[in-house]
Amino acid sequence: MQQVALITYKEAGSFTSVSEDENIELLRFLKEKGLSVSFQVWDDAAVDWSQFGLVIMKSPWDYFDKIDAFYAWLDKLEQLNCRVLNPVKTIRWNADKVYFKDLGRKGVNVAPTVWLEAGDAFKPEEVFAALHTKKIIVKPRISGAAKNTFALTLEDAIAKTPELNELIKQEPFMVQPFLPEIEEKGEWSFLFFNGKYSHTVLKTAKAGDFRVQHFFGGTVHTPTPPAHLQQAAQYVVDTFASDCLYARVDGVEVNGEFILMELELIEPFLFLHTSEGAYERYYTALRAQLDQVETQV
């Protein structure tokens, strides 16, 4: 029986118990299904990756803080011919949010973006004029968990320009219009396994905040999503993630259209506890991937 590594991170416990519990429950569930699976920390130098027939990216939740080491680890997995889910080439592509340009070229509705390379100067008046907005979101191109993410009015942005320029010296950033629908309606997350739709949640921020993540006090709801939003999310997966074990498509509805906020293909929280049968659907997708490999051998 091949060994399966369920990838996690060193600082277990840094997020809420809901996040950690999903990992623990998934490990238990997969073991009960008869898989030889274990947690492995992605940047643990003591791990012999050659012993694993499959490496599953579940929660390397600090990868964006150690991106060079993360890329080097991906290189090592490729050199060892480890099978990785999701595929390494997809993970590399998805790590840098410049992938938004690829989505836009394929007709996906994404928010207009000003791209700032490392060392560029942040010029608030020019940015606001280019985006035709009264409020912006500024964040690194390689980031997660709302790290160094700011929601700013023009006045705020002018005051914060020195701090932002210091941050932009270190890495590329991106600027998008702040979409008030995030505060007013919430952000949808559509979950897919092997390209097939599984379930949906609607995340809403706590009062006075724009961050919808549950570890920042956001709440999670499970309404039936509008069909046209689900169809838009399915198009994204069909076009960019059809070979992925898991995919999460995050977006908001603006004037009746789905605007993509993130395509999560590396380490998304999967909200498995919110939908009956979600753990089973995950396993069924994983089993299909395993069977495909065993058939080819």
At residue 213, the pLDDT reads 52
Task: State the pLDDT at residue 219.
Answer: 81
Residue ranges of the chain assigned to CATH 3.30.1490.20: 114-177
pTM comes to 0.92
pLDDT: which is higher, 10 or 162: 162
Can you name the CATH fold of 114-177? Dna Ligase; domain 1 (3.30.1490)
Match domain 182-273 to its CATH number in 3.30.470.20, 1.10.3720.10, 3.40.50.1110, 2.40.50.140: 3.30.470.20
pLDDT over 90 (residue 81): yes
When pLDDT is averaged across residues 72-96 and rounded to a whole number, the result is 97
- What band does 293 get if pLDDT is binned at 50, 70 and 90? low
In this predicted structure, the answer to whether residue 224 has a pLDDT above a threshold of 80 is yes
Residues 1/53, Cβ–Cβ less than 8 Å: no
Q: How confident is the model over 180-203, as pLDDT tens digits? A: 898 888 999 999 999 999 999 999
Two tokens, residue 54: 């499959």
CATH 3.40.50.20 in the chain is located at: 3-89
Contacts of residue 180, defined as CB under 8 A and 6 or more positions apart, other chains included, come to 135
The residues of the chain that CATH labels 3.30.470.20 are 182-273
* Residue 144 in this model has a pLDDT that exceeds 90: no
Token reading at 243: 């070979």
Identity of the amino acid at 111: A
Which is nearest to 44 in space by CA: 9, 84, 87?
9
Q: What's the CA gap between 266 and 61, in Å, rounded? A: 9
User: How sure is the predictor about 217, in pLDDT bands with cuts at 50, 70 and 90?
Assistant: low
Checking if the pLDDT of 215 tops 60, the result is no
CATH number, domain 3-89, options 3.40.50.20, 3.10.105.10, 3.40.50.150, 3.40.190.10: 3.40.50.20
CA 43, CA 92: separation in Å to the nearest integer? 16
